[in-house]
């Protein structure tokens, strides 16, 4: 009773500012929405007015409004009715679909860096198109549409099935399953491409993404029901998804079912993305950009985010398509390249702005939860005890961990076996004993020549590249305290690949190994400079790294699309990761680099062990975290760049090597030597498998590691032992 009497005079003034703040926020949102709608209308009008056919804005307006008999003109009907109008509407629909899908995926994974390709949709669509081209002779746009949509739906269904096993369905399991399956599908796609020049010739233009093939409304009307269903599901799931942002427990308390919500969101993302990829090819980076920008404008209001993300996606794709038609007349530039060139600086600008904190883009390392602290305590290195062996020589003594030493000897024996097997496998009929003798220079002269001159040069190149990748991955994962961290996150692989291809284009010759380290170093310098330094700016580095990767990847795809078929085919094999034609001369620079960088890495190993604690603990033990982090990052970049210079971007070796070595050696120390041995063995064995798997054809080593790396990632991170962690 007392509360009801004193409530009105006291509560009313206190509640006054809230509606005012909410009204201000609504006005800002309405202003932003109106500006976006106006921008989309202007870009749509520009899209209708620009292009081939020399039809101006006045003629287009007459045709749209049906004035002056414009619709009776066959020329206007062809240019406007059959080309520009369907193309513009397709750009608006696809852009809105990708923007909405990206926003949904970022919300359900609680990760503002999530992209529509995370569910394996793009990889599944690409595999579907390649299967249609290679086995059924599909060559029409409508055929691409059907096979792309089927592959995308199949990939997403498999991701949902894998992620929801054993009571899963968490955001982490969804992302990991999508990444792993997407990598495997991408590897299978590459296997089919490298063995068919015709398939590659058609695929290399489709994969760039373009609206140039849109003619008439046939394609759009075929998939309009799918897009409409995706938009409806997205709007209906917005409110339950907002509740899920509060946490699974609170969402359950409000009457929602988190597992069902995630499945429905995945279905909506699949419908929107699969239809988009089927219509115009894989347009990467747009979903991430649209969702990111919408979140920056609206804040946590999910329904508003979805609407603005759709508008932003529609505007960006339409505007990029207009630019694609005019920047390189009379040809068209790939629209995905335009989006990367435009979107990367915008994304970097958002990351550098003060809106960072309001978007939830805080440093993950600073978010110390009890659970995270407990996990960190469990994984922290323990002091050496009974597991170590003291080796004394006079006044000198050395403490050797027994388990790590046994693991190193076992890995060394495995590596020797891998070398012998690789030297033995091939077209000749040498036996294993003759091969083993030829490795050490004994036996028949022809055998020694074949093994030492041709096969061992390739093997040495693989050993050097694998060791460099393994060590680079070990350093990166230790610095990030994350088993998923690799130099690729900083744009190293894409930067090095683009630099090597550009050097080949400018010089006319291929094989400049030095271009790889220079490209990797340039990528990291840009990433670290723009993001404000490595330090503790976790998401800043990741976002800028993604932007750099998008730019470098766009450069790579453009270089490949502009070269002749024979040249592009051979370069594509290298960009997939290949040891074909590699010899001692190529391996020598990396061996020299390893001779310099490995001792430095071993010298900082003691500091790396301490760095696995938090920075304050490391500083109290006399270690300068910033200095150690910078030195190790430079080492990792140099090693990864050298490896790319040898054999191109070989995937998953930098990820898998430290995980395998750590499991064998135990948690006492950073597995520097073990990671190098595992990396070398993986590359040599994968190269051997690629040479003998298909009769008369060779699968590049990078494709083999990618195909096998996806299941490995699932086994390591989604198995029984990891169920409680992800």
pLDDT tens sequence across 70-127: 677 777 777 777 788 889 999 999 999 999 999 998 888 777 767 777 778 888 888 8
Of all residues in the chain, what percent carry a pLDDT higher than 70?
Answer: 78
Domain boundary among 362, 387, 403: 362
Position 345 in a domain: yes
Contact 113, 542 (CB under 8 A): yes
Closest to 675 (Cα-Cα) out of 487, 426, 437 = 487
Q: How far apart are CA 566 and CA 573, in angstroms?
A: 11
Neighbours of 447 (CB within 10 A): 19
The token duo for 619 is 């500083």
Phi, psi of 389 (to 5 degrees): -120, 130
Ranked by mean pLDDT, the top range of 266-275, 310-319, 627-636 is 310-319
The token duo for 678 is 């595992």
Q: CA-based angle 155:723:243, to the nearest 5?
A: 70
Tell me the mean pLDDT in the region 541-549: 72
Give yes or no: residues 537 and 686 share one domain.
Answer: yes
Q: How far apart are CA 118 and CA 181, in angstroms?
A: 9
pLDDT digits (tens, 9 = 90+) for 548-587: 777 787 778 777 777 777 777 777 787 888 888 777 777 7
Position 428 in a domain: yes
Q: How far apart are CA 318 and CA 43, in angstroms?
A: 6
Counting Cβ atoms within 10 Å, is residue 352 exposed (0-12), middle (13-18) or buried (19+)?
middle
pLDDT at 532 over 70: no
Per-residue model confidence (pLDDT) at position 19: 54
Tell me the mean pLDDT in the region 705-720: 73
Ranked by mean pLDDT, the top range of 44-48, 212-216, 240-244, 399-403 is 44-48
Position 404 in a domain: no
Position 31 in a domain: no
Domain boundary among 317, 346, 362: 362
Counting Cβ atoms within 10 Å, is residue 696 exposed (0-12), middle (13-18) or buried (19+)?
exposed
pLDDT band at 706 (very low <50, low <70, confident <90, very high): confident
Give yes or no: residues 559 and 681 share one domain.
Answer: yes
Give yes or no: residues 300 and 427 share one domain.
Answer: no
3-state DSSP call for residue 391?
strand
Q: How far apart are CA 451 and CA 424, in angstroms?
A: 8
Per residue in 112-147, is it b (16+ CB within 10 Å) or e — as a string? bbbbbbbbbbbbbbbbbbbbbbbeeebeebeebbbb
The secondary structure element, H or E, covering residue 466 is: helix 456-480
Tell me the mean pLDDT in the region 34-57: 84
Angle between helices 286-298 and 335-352 (to 10 degrees): 30
Give yes or no: residues 348 and 432 share one domain.
Answer: no
Position 396 in a domain: no
Give yes or no: residues 184 and 323 share one domain.
Answer: yes
| Total-model pTM | 0.73
Tell me how many domains the chain contains: 2
Give yes or no: residues 356 and 495 share one domain.
Answer: no
Q: How far from 342 is each of 23, 285, 289, 550, 644, CA to CA, in Å?
A: 33, 11, 10, 11, 27
Give yes or no: residues 445 and 589 share one domain.
Answer: yes
Closest to 669 (Cα-Cα) out of 408, 374, 393, 375 = 408
Q: Which CATH number fits the domain that encloses residue 657? A: 1.10.3470.10
pLDDT digits (tens, 9 = 90+) for 318-339: 999 998 888 767 667 778 878 8
Left if phi > 0, otherwise alpha if psi is -120 to 50, otherwise beta: which for 724?
Answer: alpha
Give yes or no: residues 291 and 222 share one domain.
Answer: yes
Position 20 in a domain: no
Position 62 in a domain: no
Residue predicted with more confidence, 609 or 510: 609
The token duo for 383 is 């002091």
Per-residue model confidence (pLDDT) at position 43: 92
Ranked by mean pLDDT, the top range of 111-115, 468-472, 710-714 is 468-472
pLDDT at 233 over 90: yes
Unique residue bearing structure tokens 């990741």: 542
Give yes or no: residues 322 and 430 share one domain.
Answer: no
Domain boundary among 362, 392, 410: 362
Per-residue model confidence (pLDDT) at position 4: 39
The token duo for 112 is 């503002």
pLDDT band at 172 (very low <50, low <70, confident <90, very high): low
561 contact partners, CB below 8 Å, separation of at least 6: 204, 205, 208, 334, 568
In total, the chain counts a number of residues equal to 726
Position 398 in a domain: no
Give yes or no: residues 358 and 422 share one domain.
Answer: no
Tell me the mean pLDDT in the region 302-327: 90
Give yes or no: residues 639 and 490 share one domain.
Answer: yes
The secondary structure element, H or E, covering residue 29 is: helix 17-49
Tell me the mean pLDDT in the region 692-698: 78
pLDDT band at 166 (very low <50, low <70, confident <90, very high): low
Give yes or no: residues 422 and 357 share one domain.
Answer: no
3-state DSSP call for residue 261?
helix
Which domain range does residue 575 map to?
418-722
């Amino acid at each position: 009773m007392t509360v009801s009497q004193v409530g009105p005079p006291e509560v009313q003034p206190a509640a006054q500012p809230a509606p005012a703040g909410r009204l201000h926020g609504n006005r800002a949102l309405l202003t932003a929405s109106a500006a976006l709608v106006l921008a989309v209308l202007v870009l749509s009008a520009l899209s209708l007015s620009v292009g081939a056919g020399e039809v101006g804005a006045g003629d287009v307006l007459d045709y749209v409004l049906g004035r002056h008999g414009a619709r009776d003109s066959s020329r206007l009907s062809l240019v406007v009715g059959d080309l520009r109008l369907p193309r513009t509407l397709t750009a608006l629909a696809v852009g809105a679909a990708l923007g909405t899908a990206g926003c949904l995926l970022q919300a359900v994974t609680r990760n503002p860096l999530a992209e529509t390709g995370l569910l394996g949709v793009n990889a599944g669509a690409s595999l579907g198109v390649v299967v249609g081209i290679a086995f059924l002779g599909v060559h029409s746009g409508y055929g691409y549409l059907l096979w792309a949509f089927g592959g995308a739906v199949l990939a997403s269904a498999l991701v949902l099935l894998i992620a929801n096993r054993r009571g899963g369905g968490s955001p982490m399991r969804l992302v990991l399953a999508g990444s792993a399956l997407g990598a495997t599908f991408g590897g299978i796609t590459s296997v089919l491409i490298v063995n068919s020049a015709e398939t590659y010739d058609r695929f290399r233009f489709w994969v760039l993404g373009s609206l140039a093939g849109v003619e008439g409304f046939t394609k759009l009307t075929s998939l309009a029901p799918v897009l409409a269903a995706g938009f409806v599901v997205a709007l209906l799931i917005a409110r339950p998804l907002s509740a899920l942002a509060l946490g699974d427990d609170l969402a359950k308390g409000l009457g929602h079912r988190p597992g069902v919500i995630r499945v429905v969101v995945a279905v909506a993302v699949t419908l929107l993305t699969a239809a988009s990829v089927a219509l115009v090819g894989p347009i990467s980076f747009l979903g991430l950009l649209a969702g990111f920008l919408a979140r920056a404008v609206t804040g946590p209001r999910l329904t508003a985010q979805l609407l603005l993300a759709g508008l932003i996606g529609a505007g960006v794709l339409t505007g990029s398509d207009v630019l694609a038609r005019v920047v390189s007349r009379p040809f068209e530039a790939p629209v995905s390249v335009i989006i990367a060139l435009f979107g990367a600086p915008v994304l970097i600008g958002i990351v550098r702005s003060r809106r960072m904190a309001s978007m939830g883009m805080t440093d993950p390392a600073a978010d110390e939860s009890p659970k995270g602290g407990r996990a960190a305590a469990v994984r922290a290195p323990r002091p050496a005890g009974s597991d170590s062996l003291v080796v004394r020589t006079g006044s000198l003594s050395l403490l050797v961990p027994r388990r790590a030493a046994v693991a190193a000897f076992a890995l060394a024996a495995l590596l020797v076996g891998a070398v012998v097997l690789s030297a033995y496998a091939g077209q000749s009929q040498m036996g294993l004993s003759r091969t083993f003798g030829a490795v050490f220079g004994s036996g028949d002269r022809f055998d020694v020549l074949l093994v030492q001159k041709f096969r061992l040069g390739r093997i040495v190149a693989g050993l050097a590249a694998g060791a460099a990748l393994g060590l680079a991955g070990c350093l990166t994962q230790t610095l990030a305290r994350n088993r998923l961290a690799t130099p690729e996150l900083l744009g190293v692989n894409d930067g090095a690949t683009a630099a090597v291809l550009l050097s080949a284009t400018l010089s006319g010759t291929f094989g400049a190994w030095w271009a790889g380290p220079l490209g990797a170093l340039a990528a990291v310098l840009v990433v670290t400079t723009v993001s404000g330094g490595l330090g503790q700016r976790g998401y800043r580095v990741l976002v800028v790294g993604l932007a750099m990767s998008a730019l470098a990847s766009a450069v790579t795809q453009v270089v490949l699309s502009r070269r002749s078929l024979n040249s592009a085919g051979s370069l594509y094999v290298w960009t997939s990761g290949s040891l074909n034609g590699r010899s001692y001369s190529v391996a020598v620079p990396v061996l020299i680099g390893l001779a310099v960088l490995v001792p430095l890495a071993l010298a900082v190993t003691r500091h790396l062990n301490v760095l696995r604690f938090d920075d304050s603990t490391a500083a109290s033990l006399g270690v300068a975290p910033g200095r150690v982090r910078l030195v190790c990052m430079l080492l990792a970049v140099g090693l990864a760049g050298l490896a790319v210079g040898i054999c191109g971007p070989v995937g998953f070796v930098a990820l898998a090597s430290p995980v395998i070595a750590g499991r064998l050696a135990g948690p006492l120390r950073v597995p520097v030597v073990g990671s190098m041995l595992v990396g070398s063995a993986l590359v040599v064995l994968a190269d051997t498998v690629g040479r003998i798997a298909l009769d008369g054809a060779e699968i590049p080593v990078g494709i083999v590691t990618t195909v096998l790396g996806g299941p490995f990632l699932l086994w390591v991170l989604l198995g029984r032992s990891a169920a409680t962690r992800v």
